[in-house]
C-alpha cells in the first residue's frame, strides 16, 4: 500500500473536516485553508517525483486484491494532473483570502474548496469506473454548492443550468457503467482493458453503444461541441476565485476522463477517433465565435474555455492515424496543452477578478485606461492572454505548435485549419479585451454608476501574488518547454502502452469463461500487446 497515492485525497479531506470543526474561529479556518492547500501541493510534488522515478504505482484500498477492491493507481498523466490540481488549489486558496467575503467563508467556503480538490484528485487517481463516477459526484456536489453560495439571481440561474446538465451527464455515465458491468462483470479499468477487446470482437455494437454513452457523458463534462451550453451560462456568475478554479480544473477532469477511457479501456475504431476529431474542430470554432460576440471579460473567457478544450480533444482525435510516432506526439501534445491551459486560464480569471475588485465591474464598456493607471496589471494580463492566444515564446505557443505538428503529420489538414482559424480569433478577442479595458481612454463616470471602494493594500497584495506566481510559471514553461514536454511524452507512452499500467494494478490474466460468447481465436485472450 503506497501512502503517497492516498495522501492527495486524504489531506484535503482532513483539512475540510478540521475546518468544519473550527466553526467558532474564523481566522484559524482561513489559515487552515491555505496551509492545508500548501501541504496538498507538497503531496502532489512528491507523487510526481515518485511516479517519475519508480514508474506506474498502484495501491489496493482495504487490501482486497485487484479486480475486487478499490484500486488507486497513478501513472505519469495522473500524477501530472494531481500536481497541477494541487497547485491550482493552493493558488486559488491564496486568492480567496482577498476575494471571498466573510459571509461566504462563514458558510464553509474553504471546506468546500478542499472537498472539491479531493473530488478532482480522486478522479485522477482512481483505477475503477464506478469510483470515477463517485468522485465525479463528490466534485459535482461541492461545485454546485460553491456555484450557488451567495444566492444572487444570476448565480441561481447559472446554477440551475449547470446542475441540470451535469446530473443528466452523470445519469448517462452511470447507465454506461451498468451496461458495462452487465456485459463483462468488470469495472476495474485495467481489467476492462483486457476484457473489452474480446467483447468488441463478439459484440462490436454493444461496445460501440457503451463507448458512445461515455463519450456523451464526458463530453458534457468537458464542454465539447454541441454539449457546452451549460458552461458559458454559469461560469461567470460566482465570485472570481470560484470561477477560476472551475475554469481551470473542472472541464479538464472531463478531458482527463476522455483521454483515460479512450486510450486504456475502449478499443476505438479509426472512425470513432475521426468523429472525436470532428467534434474537436467544431468545438474550437464555435467556442471562439461565442467569445468574439461577448462584451464582458469573464464571459469572453468562459467561451474561450470551450474553444481551448477543442485543442486538447484534437490530440485524442488524432489517434485515428496508425503511425505510433504520430500517436505519441498527438497524446503528448494534448497532455502538454491541458497543463498549459489550466495554468493560463486560472490566471486569466484571477486577473479579471482583480480588475473587478479594482473597478467594480468586468464589463468592458465602462472599463478603460487600465494600462496607464495600472501598468503592472496590464503586464499581468498580457502574459496569460498572449500565452492563451499562442504568441511565442509563451507556453501556449509550444502547446499549439505540438498539436498542429501532430495534426500535420497525421494529415488532418482541415482540423489544423480549424485550429489555426480559432487561434487567430482567440488573439482577436484577447486584443478586444486589451483594447477596451486597458488601452482605450477611460469613459467618464456617469452619476448613476455605483460608487466603488478600491480594495485595501493588503487585499490587493493577496489578489496579485497568485497571478504573479502563475504568470512566472507560464513564462518558465515558455522559455524551457523541454522539461514539461518530456514529461508529457513519457505520459503519452504509458497511455499508449497500457501493459505497465495493467501490471502495476495487478489484475489476474483474463479468464475468458466469464464472457458468454468467447471468440474462437485463443490469441485474443492474451494481454493486448502494445497498440500500434
Binding site for other proteins (CB under 8 A): 130, 133-134, 137, 140-141, 144-145, 148, 151-154, 156-161, 163-164, 167-168, 170-171, 174-175, 177-179, 181-183, 185, 187, 232-234, 236-237
**Smallest distance from the beta carbon of 156 to other proteins, in angstroms?**
4
- What HEC string does 374-429 produce? CHHHHHHHHHHHHHHHCCCCCHHHHHHHHHHHHHHHCCCHHHHHHHHHHHHHHHHH
Nearer to other proteins, 172 or 505 (CB): 172
165 or 313, CB closer to other proteins?
165
Which is nearest to 57 in space by CA: 40, 70, 71, 44? 71
161 and 235 Cβ atoms separated by less than 8 Å: no
89 close to 45: Cβ distance less than 8 angstroms = no
Nearest to other proteins of 57, 234 (CB atom): 234
Query: Where does residue 81 rank: exposed (0-12), middle (13-18), buried (19+ CB within 10 A)?
Result: buried
Nearer to other proteins (CB atom), residue 32 or residue 227: 227
d(CA 38, CA 151): 30
Using only C-alpha atoms, the chain has a radius of gyration, in whole angstroms, of: 23
Could you tell me how far CA 23 lies from the centroid of its own chain?
31
Q: How far is the CB of 305 from other proteins (least distance, A)?
A: 15
Residue 57: strand, helix, or coil: strand
Nearest distance from C-beta of residue 169 to other proteins, angstroms: 11
State in angstroms the smallest separation of the CB of 498 from other proteins.
23
In whole angstroms, give the CA distance from residue 14 to residue 445: 48
Distance CA 130, CA 42 (A): 28
How many Cβ atoms sit within 10 Å of the Cβ of residue 388? 29
Which of residues 67 and 481 has its CB atom nearest to other proteins in the complex? 67
Smallest distance from other proteins to CB 196, Å: 16
Tell me the three cell numbers of residue 128. Answer: 475503477
Nearer to other proteins, 160 or 460 (CB): 160
For 520, counting Cβ atoms within 10 Å of its Cβ (0-12 exposed, 13-18 middle, 19+ buried), the class is exposed
Quote the CA–CA distance of 173 and 161 in Å, as a whole number: 18
Which CB atom, from 77 or from 135, has the smaller least distance to other proteins?
A: 135
- Tell me the closest approach of the beta carbon of residue 320 to other proteins, in angstroms: 30
Helix, strand, coil share (%) of the chain residues, nearest 5: 75, 5, 20
466, 94 Cβ separation under 8 angstroms: yes
Nearest distance in Å: CB 147, other proteins = 10
Say if residues 380 and 467 touch (Cβ distance below 8 Å): yes
Cβ distance to other proteins smaller for residue 288 or 383? 288
Question: From the CB of 239, what's the least distance to other proteins, in Å?
Answer: 15
Q: In this complex, which beta carbon is closest to other proteins, that of residue 188 or of residue 395?
A: 188
Residue among 91, 79, 85 nearest 120 (CA): 85
Of 172 and 477, CB closest to other proteins:
172
* Minimum separation from the CB atom of position 423 to other proteins (A): 26
Least Å distance, CB 221 to other proteins, is 15
Cα gap 375→451, rounded to integer Å: 23
Q: How far is the CB of 233 from other proteins (least distance, A)?
A: 5
Q: 226 or 322: whose CB is closer to other proteins? A: 226
Rank residues 140 and 350 by Cβ distance to other proteins and give the closer one: 140
- Return the C-alpha cell found at 484: 514539461
| Least spacing, CB of residue 179 vs other proteins, in Å | 5
Widest pairwise Cα distance in the chain: 82
Measured over the CA atoms of residue 413, residue 414, residue 416 and residue 421, the dihedral's sign is positive
CA distance 435 to 300: 14
* CB 119 to other proteins: min, Å: 12
The angle, 0 to 180 degrees and rounded to 10, between the axes of the packed helices 3-21 and 76-99 is 20
Q: Please say which residue, 74 or 159, places its beta carbon nearer to other proteins.
A: 159
DSSP state of 226: T
Amino acid at each position: 500500500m503506497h501512502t503517497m497515492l492516498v495522501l492527495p485525497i486524504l489531506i484535503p479531506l482532513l483539512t475540510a473536516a478540521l475546518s468544519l470543526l473550527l466553526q467558532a474561529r474564523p481566522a484559524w479556518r482561513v489559515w487552515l485553508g491555505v496551509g492545508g492547500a500548501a501541504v496538498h501541493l507538497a503531496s502532489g510534488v512528491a507523487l510526481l517525483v515518485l511516479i517519475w522515478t519508480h514508474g506506474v504505482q498502484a495501491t489496493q484500498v482495504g487490501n482486497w486484491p485487484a479486480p475486487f477492491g478499490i484500486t488507486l493507481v497513478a501513472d505519469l498523466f495522473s500524477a501530472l494532473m494531481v500536481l497541477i490540481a494541487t497547485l491550482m488549489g493552493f493558488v486559488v486558496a491564496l486568492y480567496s483570502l482577498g476575494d471571498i467575503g466573510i459571509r461566504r467563508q462563514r458558510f464553509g467556503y474553504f471546506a468546500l474548496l478542499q472537498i472539491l480538490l479531493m473530488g478532482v484528485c480522486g478522479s485522477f487517481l482512481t483505477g475503477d469506473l464506478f469510483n470515477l463516477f463517485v468522485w465525479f459526484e463528490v466534485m459535482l456536489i461541492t461545485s454546485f454548492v460553491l456555484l450557488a453560495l451567495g444566492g444572487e439571481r444570476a448565480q441561481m440561474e447559472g446554477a440551475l443550468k449547470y446542475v441540470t446538465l451535469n446530473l443528466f451527464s452523470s445519469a448517462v455515465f452511470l447507465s454506461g457503467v451498468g451496461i458495462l458491468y452487465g456485459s463483462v462483470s468488470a469495472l476495474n479499468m485495467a481489467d476492462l482493458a483486457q476484457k473489452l477487446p474480446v467483447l468488441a470482437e463478439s459484440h462490436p455494437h454493444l461496445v460501440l453503444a457503451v463507448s458512445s454513452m461515455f463519450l456523451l457523458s464526458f463530453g458534457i463534462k468537458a464542454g465539447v461541441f454541441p454539449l457546452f451550453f451549460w458552461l458559458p451560462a454559469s461560469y461567470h456568475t460566482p465570485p472570481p476565485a470560484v470561477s477560476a478554479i472551475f475554469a481551470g480544473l473542472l472541464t479538464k477532469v472531463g478531458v482527463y476522463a476522455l483521454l483515460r477511457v479512450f486510450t486504456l479501456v475502449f478499443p476505438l475504431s479509426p472512425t470513432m477517433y475521426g468523429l472525436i476529431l470532428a467534434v474537436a474542430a467544431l468545438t474550437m470554432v464555435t467556442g471562439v465565435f461565442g467569445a468574439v460576440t461577448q462584451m464582458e471579460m469573464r464571459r469572453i473567457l468562459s467561451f474561450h474555455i470551450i474553444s481551448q478544450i477543442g485543442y486538447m480533444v484534437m490530440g485524442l482525435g488524432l489517434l485515428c492515424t496508425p503511425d505510433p510516432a504520430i500517436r505519441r506526439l498527438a497524446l503528448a501534445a494534448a497532455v502538454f496543452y491541458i497543463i498549459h491551459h489550466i495554468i493560463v486560464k486560472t490566471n486569466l480569471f484571477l486577473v479579471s477578478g482583480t480588475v473587478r475588485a479594482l473597478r467594480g465591474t468586468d464589463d468592458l464598456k465602462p472599463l478603460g485606461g487600465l494600462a496607464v493607471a495600472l501598468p503592472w496589471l496590464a503586464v499581468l494580463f498580457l502574459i496569460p492572454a498572449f500565452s492563451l492566444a499562442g504568441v511565442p515564446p509563451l507556453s501556449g505557443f509550444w502547446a499549439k505548435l505540438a498539436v498542429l505538428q501532430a495534426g500535420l503529420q497525421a494529415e488532418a489538414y482541415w482540423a489544423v485549419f480549424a485550429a489555426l482559424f480559432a487561434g487567430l480569433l482567440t488573439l482577436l478577442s484577447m486584443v478586444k479585451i486589451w483594447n477596451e479595458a486597458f488601452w482605450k481612454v477611460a469613459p467618464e463616470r456617469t452619476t448613476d454608476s455605483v460608487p466603488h471602494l478600491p480594495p485595501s493594500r493588503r487585499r490587493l497584495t493577496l489578489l496579485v501574488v497568485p497571478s504573479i506566481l502563475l504568470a512566472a510559471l507560464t513564462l518558465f514553461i515558455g522559455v524551457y518547454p523541454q522539461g514539461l514536454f518530456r514529461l508529457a511524452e513519457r505520459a503519452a507512452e504509458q497511455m499508449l502502452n497500457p501493459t505497465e499500467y495493467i501490471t502495476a494494478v495487478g489484475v489476474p490474466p483474463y479468464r475468458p469463461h466469464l464472457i458468454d460468447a468467447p471468440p474462437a481465436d485463443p490469441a485474443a485472450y492474451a494481454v493486448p500487446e502494445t497498440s500500434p
